[in-house]
Structure 1
Amino acid sequence: MKTRQKDRDAPEPEPWSEIRPGLWMGGHFWTDHTGGVRPAVAGDEFDLVISLFTRGGHGPHPAVQHLITELPDGPLTAGQILAVQELASTATHAVRGGRTVLVRCHSGHNRSGLVIAQSLIELGHAPDAAIGLIRQKRSPRALNNETFEQYLTAGLQVAYLLSGLDTLD
């Protein structure tokens, strides 16, 4: 399954960014000061790691709870939108419980941004405020996937229902 866009932006100059206390966003790769792309390997610095893209050798430590749901960096099916909702709820519950959470994808822009934004919405942010906070804390390039931004502004439940219409005969 293809899980990322060919024209995705380059990784950020840091592996992870704290979007709000306890809620981190990042990728499997980051760019060092020389411009070299480096692996971002999670160890045991987080209580929960949610990976929307996976690559062997990138952690986390075996003792860390690790949820893996590979998603494309493009339009999602109803089932994939439901998975985003469930992952965001899991992240929200963990943060409310005082746990540290990392949500990551390839470069830490779109897929991780979608889950983080939905978590922020569940934590009381308006969709536009959640998107703005992610762009401020992670990167202005974060959530540059217009479809994901539309899912968030319409509401994931609405996006889920509309995506499910494709499966009706």
Structure 2
Amino acid sequence: MYDPATMTKTHWKNPDAPRPPTPWDEITPGLWMGGHVYADADGELCPAVVTDEFDLVISLYTRPGHGPGPAAEHLVGEMPDAPLTAAQLDTVRRLADTAGRALDAGRRTLVRCYYGYNRSGIVVAQCLVGRGATAEEAVGLIRSRRSPWALHNRLFTAYLDTGLDAAFLLAGPDPLP
């Protein structure tokens, strides 16, 4: 889908990726990963609307009417499910750090994107890396808890394998407007 205001691809429909069967899944205690849509028992696409289930919601994609409710803190860092700029990689790092601090404070945290596979996956994986996991361990845990399709964007797993600090430096400065 393209945002006509910025002409930036915010998500793509991968015809091979199945719709997630749940709106969100717990990856580690207090840290959840999900999307804005999921498939019901009949395979129909349903909206995943957040109300008051979480204390902090981090959205890498937004859609009107999908919450969260007024009691939750909501951080938005929209980015494409595509190559990331240095600024977007920095956003991933900052949101992952924020998620880690929220967990340390005992806050139930949801990180979400469209399906809850790639963009949410890179933030959750980076959060886990910041808590001592290797990139491989983080990706494996996410795939076992959310979906084998989680982090199927190979570029995102390459960013994690390289390390987001190094990927940020390799991405170089973003072009001037």
Report the TM range for the smaller structure's normalisation. over 0.9
Deviation track 1:22-42 (CA, whole Å, cap 9, x = no partner) reads 000000000000000000000
In the alignment, is the contact (CA less than 8 A) between 2:86 and 2:171 conserved in 1?
yes
The 5 Å alignment of 1:109-124 reads 109-124=117-132
Pair 1:52 & 2:81 matched: no
Deviation track 1:89-138 (CA, whole Å, cap 9, x = no partner) reads 00000001111100000000000000000000011111100000000000
TM-score normalised over the length of structure 1: 0.96
Which residue of 2 is the match for residue 5 of structure 1? Answer: 12
Q: Within 2, Cα distance between the matches of 1:166 and 1:60?
A: 31
Question: How many percent identity over aligned positions?
Answer: 55
5+ residue gaps in structure 1?
Answer: none
Which residue of 1 is the match for residue 3 of structure 2? Answer: none
Displacement of 1:165 in angstroms is 5.7
Write the letter of the residue equivalent to 1:15.
Answer: P
In the alignment, is the contact (CA less than 8 A) between 1:11 and 1:108 conserved in 2?
no
Q: Secondary structure at the match of 1:61?
A: coil
Which residue of 1 is the match for residue 136 of structure 2? Answer: 128
The 5 Å alignment of 1:1-169 reads 1-7=8-14, 9-164=17-172, 167=175
Displacement of 1:10 in angstroms is 3.3
Q: Within 2, Cα distance between the matches of 1:44 and 1:131?
A: 28
Which 4+ residue blocks in structure 1 deviate beyond 3 angstroms? 165-168
In the alignment, is the contact (CA less than 8 A) between 2:111 and 2:120 conserved in 1?
yes
Query: RMSD in angstroms over aligned alpha carbons?
Result: 1.3
Write the letter of the residue equivalent to 1:54.
Answer: T
Q: Within 2, Cα distance between the matches of 1:33 and 1:119?
A: 31
| Paired positions, count | 168
Q: Within 2, Cα distance between the matches of 1:165 and 1:6?
A: 29
Deviation track 1:18-70 (CA, whole Å, cap 9, x = no partner) reads 00000000000000000000000001110000000000000000121000111
Q: Within 2, Cα distance between the matches of 1:4 and 1:115?
A: 16
Moved more, 8-17 or 146-155: 8-17
5+ residue gaps in structure 2?
Answer: 1-7
